[in-house]
Amino acid sequence: MYPDKHREIITSLMDGKFITVEELLFETIKKNEDFYIKFFETSFGFELTGNHDFYYLVSSETNENTSRDISIFFSILCYELDKDGKNFLEELNYSEFYIDEILEYFKNSSWLDVIKANKQLYNEESLKRHIGTMVKRNIAIKQSNDRYSFTKAHKLFIDFAKDLIQDDKDEPAR
């Protein structure tokens, strides 16, 4: 006997989606966490990772660049929000963004060399597709045709960026 919504949980996680605390599926995973940890490890060799905000799968066999591109997206957006005098953590947690606002931040960013070198971010159309990918993965939510907000899953990418910065600071100068 499997937990309620088992197939939906498996399909969502296997499609690369984050299951966030706002969803009913989150509570099912939380109540059956040991089962799902063992299930994904035994069935697929994947690690179910979670915290009080979201669950997602990790595989050592993947060679996908989407997570890297999402991290770069958030790094640039946070930098531009901060430069604009906004508390980027509050903005990501509680605000909605118009697509034109995001496009403008990227168009005028001081990180244009990084943006131009990234196939997911280098122009308006690719950036819009990238945001669509984040919606599919439950990292962003499309509120209307031109407004988006971010789920708690954004924290993974922010924490990753913080860890990279900290690792960089901890390395001795060469």
User: Is 46 part of a structural domain of the chain?
Assistant: yes
In sequence order, which residues have a C-beta less than 8 Å from that of residue 164 and are 6 or more positions away?
none
Count of domains in the chain?
2
The last residue of a domain, from among 58, 77, 97: 58
Q: What is the pTM of this model?
A: 0.85
Shared-domain flag, residues 161 and 80: yes
pLDDT per position in the chain (174 positions), as tens? 899 999 999 999 999 999 999 999 999 999 999 999 999 999 999 999 999 999 999 987 665 678 888 989 999 999 999 999 999 999 999 999 999 999 999 999 988 999 999 999 999 999 999 999 999 999 999 998 899 999 999 999 888 767 655 655 566 544
User: Is 144 part of a structural domain of the chain?
Assistant: yes
Q: Which domain holds residue 99?
A: 66-166
CB atoms within 10 A of CB 20: 19
User: Is 95 part of a structural domain of the chain?
Assistant: yes
Shared-domain flag, residues 123 and 160: yes
The three-class DSSP label of residue 146 is: coil
Name the residue among 131, 19, 129, 142 with its Cα closest to residue 73: 131
